[in-house]
Protein backbone atom coordinates (compact mmCIF):
# COMPACT_ATOMS: atom_id res chain seq x y z
CA UNK A 1 0.00 0.00 0.00
CA UNK A 2 1.02 3.62 -0.59
CA UNK A 3 0.36 6.01 2.28
CA UNK A 4 -1.34 9.35 1.58
CA UNK A 5 -0.66 11.95 4.27
CA UNK A 6 -1.83 15.49 4.98
CA UNK A 7 0.08 18.44 6.40
CA UNK A 8 -1.78 17.83 9.66
CA UNK A 9 -0.42 14.27 9.72
CA UNK A 10 3.11 15.48 9.05
CA UNK A 11 2.86 18.06 11.81
CA UNK A 12 1.87 15.37 14.31
CA UNK A 13 4.95 13.23 13.74
CA UNK A 14 7.81 15.46 12.51
CA UNK A 15 9.43 17.20 15.48
CA UNK A 16 12.29 19.66 15.20
CA UNK A 17 14.45 17.43 17.39
CA UNK A 18 13.90 14.42 15.11
CA UNK A 19 14.54 16.48 12.00
CA UNK A 20 17.76 17.94 13.41
CA UNK A 21 19.06 14.50 14.37
CA UNK A 22 18.12 12.77 11.12
CA UNK A 23 19.43 15.57 8.89
CA UNK A 24 22.67 15.66 10.86
CA UNK A 25 23.22 11.95 10.16
CA UNK A 26 22.14 12.34 6.54
CA UNK A 27 24.48 15.30 5.93
CA UNK A 28 27.35 13.23 7.32
CA UNK A 29 26.51 10.52 4.79
CA UNK A 30 26.42 13.14 2.06
CA UNK A 31 29.83 14.55 3.01
CA UNK A 32 31.37 11.13 2.48
CA UNK A 33 29.64 10.65 -0.86
CA UNK A 34 27.11 8.06 0.24
CA UNK A 35 24.04 10.28 -0.06
CA UNK A 36 23.19 12.13 -3.27
CA UNK A 37 21.09 15.13 -4.25
CA UNK A 38 20.17 16.70 -7.59
CA UNK A 39 20.32 20.43 -8.19
CA UNK A 40 16.91 22.07 -8.01
CA UNK A 41 15.24 22.69 -11.37
CA UNK A 42 12.90 25.64 -12.12
CA UNK A 43 10.87 25.77 -15.33
CA UNK A 44 9.19 29.16 -15.72
CA UNK A 45 6.60 30.31 -18.27
CA UNK A 46 3.91 32.98 -18.64
CA UNK A 47 0.51 32.32 -17.13
CA UNK A 48 -2.94 33.87 -17.52
CA UNK A 49 -2.17 36.56 -14.93
CA UNK A 50 -0.18 39.42 -16.37
CA UNK A 51 1.42 40.18 -12.99
CA UNK A 52 2.58 36.58 -12.40
CA UNK A 53 4.57 33.70 -13.86
CA UNK A 54 4.07 29.94 -13.67
CA UNK A 55 6.89 27.90 -12.11
CA UNK A 56 7.28 24.12 -12.08
CA UNK A 57 10.01 23.29 -9.57
CA UNK A 58 11.52 19.94 -8.68
CA UNK A 59 14.39 18.54 -6.62
CA UNK A 60 15.26 15.05 -5.50
CA UNK A 61 17.72 13.06 -3.42
CA UNK A 62 18.46 9.57 -2.11
CA UNK A 63 19.58 8.59 1.40
CA UNK A 64 20.71 4.95 0.97
CA UNK A 65 21.24 4.46 4.72
CA UNK A 66 17.52 5.17 5.25
CA UNK A 67 16.44 3.14 2.22
CA UNK A 68 14.55 6.01 0.61
CA UNK A 69 14.59 8.53 -2.21
CA UNK A 70 12.30 11.53 -2.58
CA UNK A 71 11.12 13.99 -5.18
CA UNK A 72 9.70 17.36 -4.18
CA UNK A 73 7.51 19.06 -6.80
CA UNK A 74 5.98 22.54 -6.68
CA UNK A 75 3.50 23.91 -9.19
CA UNK A 76 3.36 27.63 -8.40
CA UNK A 77 1.90 30.92 -9.52
CA UNK A 78 4.49 33.51 -8.47
CA UNK A 79 4.41 37.30 -8.23
CA UNK A 80 7.13 39.84 -7.36
CA UNK A 81 5.39 42.74 -5.61
CA UNK A 82 7.32 45.71 -4.26
CA UNK A 83 6.98 46.94 -0.69
CA UNK A 84 8.69 50.31 -0.50
CA UNK A 85 12.12 49.80 -2.05
CA UNK A 86 12.09 46.04 -1.49
CA UNK A 87 10.99 43.39 -3.94
CA UNK A 88 9.49 40.16 -2.59
CA UNK A 89 8.87 36.77 -4.14
CA UNK A 90 5.29 35.80 -3.29
CA UNK A 91 3.49 32.59 -4.20
CA UNK A 92 -0.22 33.00 -4.94
CA UNK A 93 -2.69 30.38 -3.65
CA UNK A 94 -4.34 30.06 -7.07
CA UNK A 95 -5.45 26.42 -6.89
CA UNK A 96 -9.15 25.76 -6.07
CA UNK A 97 -10.20 26.96 -2.59
CA UNK A 98 -7.18 29.33 -2.48
CA UNK A 99 -4.59 26.60 -1.99
CA UNK A 100 -0.98 25.94 -3.00
CA UNK A 101 0.41 22.89 -4.80
CA UNK A 102 3.51 21.21 -3.38
CA UNK A 103 4.09 17.47 -3.09
CA UNK A 104 6.72 15.11 -1.72
CA UNK A 105 6.86 11.65 -3.27
CA UNK A 106 8.75 9.14 -1.12
CA UNK A 107 10.11 5.96 -2.70
CA UNK A 108 11.81 2.80 -1.46
CA UNK A 109 15.39 2.54 -2.72
CA UNK A 110 15.13 -1.22 -2.18
CA UNK A 111 12.10 -1.98 -4.36
CA UNK A 112 11.47 1.30 -6.21
CA UNK A 113 7.87 1.39 -5.00
CA UNK A 114 6.14 4.59 -3.89
CA UNK A 115 5.91 4.52 -0.09
CA UNK A 116 4.08 7.78 0.55
CA UNK A 117 2.71 10.96 -1.01
CA UNK A 118 2.34 14.07 1.14
CA UNK A 119 2.18 17.89 0.89
CA UNK A 120 5.50 19.65 1.26
CA UNK A 121 4.37 22.65 3.34
CA UNK A 122 4.99 21.59 6.94
CA UNK A 123 7.98 19.42 6.05
CA UNK A 124 9.75 22.14 4.08
CA UNK A 125 9.28 24.63 6.89
CA UNK A 126 10.80 22.28 9.47
CA UNK A 127 13.69 21.12 7.24
CA UNK A 128 14.72 24.74 6.52
CA UNK A 129 14.66 25.47 10.24
CA UNK A 130 16.70 22.34 10.96
CA UNK A 131 19.37 23.21 8.38
CA UNK A 132 19.86 26.67 9.85
CA UNK A 133 19.70 25.18 13.35
CA UNK A 134 22.64 22.95 12.45
CA UNK A 135 24.41 26.03 11.13
CA UNK A 136 23.95 27.59 14.58
CA UNK A 137 25.13 24.39 16.30
CA UNK A 138 28.39 24.24 14.35
CA UNK A 139 29.15 27.95 13.90
CA UNK A 140 27.65 30.10 16.67
CA UNK A 141 29.47 30.70 19.95
CA UNK A 142 28.80 28.00 22.53
CA UNK A 143 27.59 30.65 24.99
CA UNK A 144 25.31 32.40 22.48
CA UNK A 145 22.12 33.30 24.33
CA UNK A 146 20.42 36.10 22.37
CA UNK A 147 18.78 36.09 18.95
CA UNK A 148 17.63 38.82 16.60
CA UNK A 149 15.23 37.57 13.95
CA UNK A 150 14.49 39.62 10.85
CA UNK A 151 11.16 38.43 9.50
CA UNK A 152 7.90 37.20 11.00
CA UNK A 153 6.45 34.94 8.31
CA UNK A 154 5.90 31.21 7.77
CA UNK A 155 9.60 30.28 7.97
CA UNK A 156 10.57 32.44 10.93
CA UNK A 157 8.96 30.31 13.64
CA UNK A 158 10.98 27.17 12.92
CA UNK A 159 14.17 29.21 12.66
CA UNK A 160 13.70 30.12 16.30
CA UNK A 161 12.59 26.61 17.30
CA UNK A 162 15.73 25.10 15.78
CA UNK A 163 18.11 27.67 17.26
CA UNK A 164 16.59 27.20 20.71
CA UNK A 165 17.04 23.43 20.36
CA UNK A 166 20.82 23.77 19.91
CA UNK A 167 21.64 26.77 22.13
CA UNK A 168 20.45 27.96 25.55
CA UNK A 169 18.63 31.06 24.34
CA UNK A 170 17.52 33.64 26.89
CA UNK A 171 16.39 36.64 24.83
CA UNK A 172 14.83 37.08 21.37
CA UNK A 173 13.97 40.30 19.52
CA UNK A 174 11.96 40.36 16.30
CA UNK A 175 11.81 42.96 13.55
CA UNK A 176 9.71 42.91 10.40
CA UNK A 177 8.33 45.86 8.44
CA UNK A 178 4.74 45.11 9.44
CA UNK A 179 4.05 46.15 13.04
CA UNK A 180 0.96 43.93 13.24
CA UNK A 181 2.81 40.90 11.89
CA UNK A 182 5.81 41.19 14.19
CA UNK A 183 3.61 41.71 17.24
CA UNK A 184 1.38 38.73 16.43
CA UNK A 185 4.43 36.58 15.68
CA UNK A 186 6.11 37.58 18.93
CA UNK A 187 3.05 36.66 20.97
CA UNK A 188 2.72 33.30 19.20
CA UNK A 189 6.39 32.34 19.52
CA UNK A 190 6.58 33.44 23.15
CA UNK A 191 3.92 30.82 23.82
CA UNK A 192 5.64 28.16 21.71
CA UNK A 193 9.15 28.63 23.11
CA UNK A 194 8.49 29.73 26.66
CA UNK A 195 10.97 32.57 26.00
CA UNK A 196 9.78 36.15 25.62
CA UNK A 197 10.01 37.32 22.02
CA UNK A 198 10.09 41.12 21.95
CA UNK A 199 8.88 42.99 18.82
CA UNK A 200 10.97 46.03 17.93
CA UNK A 201 10.55 48.80 15.37
CA UNK A 202 13.88 48.65 13.51
CA UNK A 203 16.44 46.05 12.45
CA UNK A 204 19.08 47.93 14.44
CA UNK A 205 17.01 47.59 17.62
CA UNK A 206 16.75 43.84 17.06
CA UNK A 207 20.41 43.26 16.14
CA UNK A 208 22.08 45.46 18.78
CA UNK A 209 23.84 43.11 21.21
CA UNK A 210 22.52 39.90 19.63
CA UNK A 211 24.80 36.85 19.48
CA UNK A 212 22.88 35.33 16.56
CA UNK A 213 21.05 37.17 13.78
CA UNK A 214 18.58 35.03 11.83
CA UNK A 215 17.23 36.34 8.53
CA UNK A 216 13.92 34.75 7.55
CA UNK A 217 12.18 36.73 4.82
CA UNK A 218 10.70 36.42 1.33
CA UNK A 219 12.61 39.39 -0.01
CA UNK A 220 14.95 39.23 -3.02
CA UNK A 221 16.90 42.21 -1.62
CA UNK A 222 19.47 42.48 1.18
CA UNK A 223 18.23 42.78 4.77
CA UNK A 224 21.54 42.27 6.64
CA UNK A 225 24.38 44.70 5.96
CA UNK A 226 28.05 45.10 6.84
CA UNK A 227 27.29 47.86 9.34
CA UNK A 228 25.40 45.40 11.55
CA UNK A 229 28.45 43.18 12.16
CA UNK A 230 30.02 42.99 15.61
CA UNK A 231 32.77 40.64 16.85
CA UNK A 232 31.57 37.11 17.62
CA UNK A 233 28.22 37.40 15.85
CA UNK A 234 26.74 34.48 13.91
CA UNK A 235 24.68 35.40 10.85
CA UNK A 236 22.06 32.96 9.60
CA UNK A 237 20.16 33.31 6.34
CA UNK A 238 17.47 31.16 4.70
CA UNK A 239 18.12 32.48 1.20
CA UNK A 240 20.99 33.90 -0.77
CA UNK A 241 19.99 37.57 -1.20
CA UNK A 242 19.30 38.31 2.47
CA UNK A 243 22.96 39.01 3.39
CA UNK A 244 24.83 41.66 1.40
CA UNK A 245 28.03 40.69 -0.37
CA UNK A 246 29.91 43.30 1.71
CA UNK A 247 28.73 41.62 4.92
CA UNK A 248 29.72 38.21 3.56
CA UNK A 249 33.21 39.45 2.78
CA UNK A 250 33.54 40.72 6.37
CA UNK A 251 32.77 37.30 7.84
CA UNK A 252 35.75 35.26 9.03
CA UNK A 253 34.05 31.97 8.22
CA UNK A 254 31.20 31.26 5.82
CA UNK A 255 29.44 27.98 5.15
CA UNK A 256 26.79 27.39 2.52
CA UNK A 257 24.17 24.69 2.29
CA UNK A 258 25.50 23.43 -1.04
CA UNK A 259 27.98 24.45 -3.70
CA UNK A 260 25.08 24.89 -6.16
CA UNK A 261 24.87 28.62 -6.80
CA UNK A 262 21.36 28.66 -8.27
CA UNK A 263 18.66 26.35 -9.68
CA UNK A 264 18.79 25.01 -13.21
CA UNK A 265 16.51 27.55 -14.90
CA UNK A 266 14.55 26.94 -18.10
CA UNK A 267 12.19 29.62 -19.40
CA UNK A 268 10.01 30.39 -22.37
CA UNK A 269 12.04 32.17 -25.06
CA UNK A 270 12.55 35.83 -24.22
CA UNK A 271 10.94 35.61 -20.76
CA UNK A 272 12.44 37.78 -18.04
CA UNK A 273 12.09 36.64 -14.43
CA UNK A 274 11.94 39.85 -12.34
CA UNK A 275 14.49 38.87 -9.72
CA UNK A 276 16.90 37.78 -12.46
CA UNK A 277 16.41 40.67 -14.83
CA UNK A 278 17.01 43.20 -12.03
CA UNK A 279 20.10 41.33 -10.80
CA UNK A 280 18.44 40.48 -7.51
CA UNK A 281 17.87 37.12 -5.85
CA UNK A 282 20.33 34.63 -7.33
CA UNK A 283 22.51 37.47 -8.57
CA UNK A 284 23.42 38.57 -5.04
CA UNK A 285 27.05 38.05 -3.97
CA UNK A 286 28.02 36.95 -7.48
CA UNK A 287 31.56 38.11 -6.71
CA UNK A 288 31.99 35.36 -4.09
CA UNK A 289 33.20 31.92 -5.21
CA UNK A 290 30.76 29.55 -3.53
CA UNK A 291 32.81 26.53 -4.68
CA UNK A 292 35.58 27.56 -2.28
CA UNK A 293 33.27 27.75 0.74
CA UNK A 294 32.55 24.92 3.16
CA UNK A 295 29.17 23.23 3.02
CA UNK A 296 26.89 22.23 5.88
CA UNK A 297 27.57 18.52 5.27
CA UNK A 298 31.31 19.24 5.59
CA UNK A 299 30.71 21.05 8.89
CA UNK A 300 28.69 18.15 10.27
CA UNK A 301 31.28 15.60 9.13
CA UNK A 302 34.12 17.52 10.79
CA UNK A 303 35.79 18.28 7.46
CA UNK A 304 35.64 22.01 8.20
CA UNK A 305 35.66 23.85 11.54
CA UNK A 306 32.86 26.37 11.86
CA UNK A 307 34.41 28.53 14.57
CA UNK A 308 37.84 28.69 16.20
CA UNK A 309 37.39 31.68 18.54
CA UNK A 310 34.66 33.69 20.24
CA UNK A 311 35.66 36.80 18.29
CA UNK A 312 35.18 35.33 14.82
CA UNK A 313 32.25 36.48 12.69
CA UNK A 314 30.55 33.43 11.20
CA UNK A 315 27.80 33.07 8.62
CA UNK A 316 25.66 30.18 7.43
CA UNK A 317 24.02 30.89 4.09
CA UNK A 318 21.19 28.46 3.29
CA UNK A 319 21.64 29.35 -0.36
CA UNK A 320 19.43 26.69 -1.95
CA UNK A 321 17.35 23.75 -0.76
CA UNK A 322 18.10 20.09 -1.41
CA UNK A 323 15.77 17.31 -2.45
CA UNK A 324 17.96 15.19 -0.16
CA UNK A 325 16.38 16.89 2.87
CA UNK A 326 12.93 15.63 1.84
CA UNK A 327 14.18 12.07 1.61
CA UNK A 328 15.65 12.26 5.13
CA UNK A 329 12.68 14.04 6.70
CA UNK A 330 10.23 11.94 4.66
CA UNK A 331 11.73 8.75 6.11
CA UNK A 332 10.93 9.96 9.63
CA UNK A 333 7.42 11.00 8.67
CA UNK A 334 6.67 7.70 6.93
CA UNK A 335 7.94 5.51 9.77
CA UNK A 336 6.18 7.44 12.53
CA UNK A 337 2.95 7.85 10.54
CA UNK A 338 2.78 4.08 9.96
CA UNK A 339 3.41 3.46 13.66
CA UNK A 340 0.67 5.94 14.60
CA UNK A 341 -1.83 4.67 12.03
CA UNK A 342 -2.09 8.05 10.31
CA UNK A 343 -3.09 8.79 6.73
CA UNK A 344 -4.93 6.78 4.11
CA UNK A 345 -3.65 3.70 2.31
CA UNK A 346 -4.10 3.39 -1.44
CA UNK A 347 -3.17 0.35 -3.54
CA UNK A 348 0.44 0.62 -4.67
CA UNK A 349 -0.68 -0.94 -7.96
CA UNK A 350 -2.34 2.41 -8.72
CA UNK A 351 1.12 4.00 -8.91
CA UNK A 352 3.11 1.15 -10.48
CA UNK A 353 2.77 -0.61 -13.84
CA UNK A 354 3.21 -4.01 -15.44
CA UNK A 355 4.72 -2.72 -18.69
CA UNK A 356 8.34 -1.67 -19.11
CA UNK A 357 8.44 2.14 -18.86
- Mind listing the pLDDT tens digit for each residue in 230-253? 999 999 999 999 999 999 999 999
Angle between helices 156-166 and 121-139 (to 10 degrees): 40
Rounded average pLDDT over 315-344: 98
pLDDT class of 278 with cuts at 50, 70, 90: low
Residue 277 has a pLDDT of 65
Fold (topology level) of 2-123+323-350: ornithine cyclodeaminase, domain 1 (3.30.1780)
- CA-wise closest residue to 109 among 331, 339, 333: 331
* E strand map for 7-92: 36-37, 41-46, 53-63, 68-79, 82-83, 86-87, 90-92
Location of each CATH 3.30.1780.10 domain in the chain = 2-123+323-350
Query: Is the pLDDT at 165 greater than 90, yes or no?
Result: yes
Residue 243 has what DSSP assignment? B
Rounded average pLDDT over 130-145: 98
Mean confidence (pLDDT) of the chain: 96
Are 63 and 38 in contact by the 8 Å Cβ rule? The answer is: no
Higher pLDDT, 262 or 196: 196
- Mind listing the pLDDT tens digit for each residue in 61-82? 999 999 999 999 999 999 999 8
HSE, CB side, 13 Å, CA atoms: give it for residue 239: 21
Query: Is the pLDDT at 201 greater than 80, yes or no?
Result: yes
Location of each CATH 3.40.50.720 domain in the chain = 125-317
Residue 276 has a pLDDT of 77
The CATH superfamily of 125-317 is: NAD(P)-binding Rossmann-like Domain (3.40.50.720)
- CA-wise closest residue to 223 among 85, 109, 19, 338: 85
Query: Is the pLDDT at 36 greater than 70, yes or no?
Result: yes
Residue 143 has what DSSP assignment? T
Amino acid sequence: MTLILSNADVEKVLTMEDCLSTLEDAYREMAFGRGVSRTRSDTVTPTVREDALYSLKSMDGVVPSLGVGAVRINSDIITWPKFGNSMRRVKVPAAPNQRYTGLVLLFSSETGEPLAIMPDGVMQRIRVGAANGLGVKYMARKDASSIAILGSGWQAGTQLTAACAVRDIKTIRCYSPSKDNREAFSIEMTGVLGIEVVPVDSPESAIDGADIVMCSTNTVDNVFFERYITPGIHISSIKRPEVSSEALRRADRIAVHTHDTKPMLTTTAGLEVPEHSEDKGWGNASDIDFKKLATLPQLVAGQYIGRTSDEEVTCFLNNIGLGYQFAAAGAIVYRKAVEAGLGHDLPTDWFTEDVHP
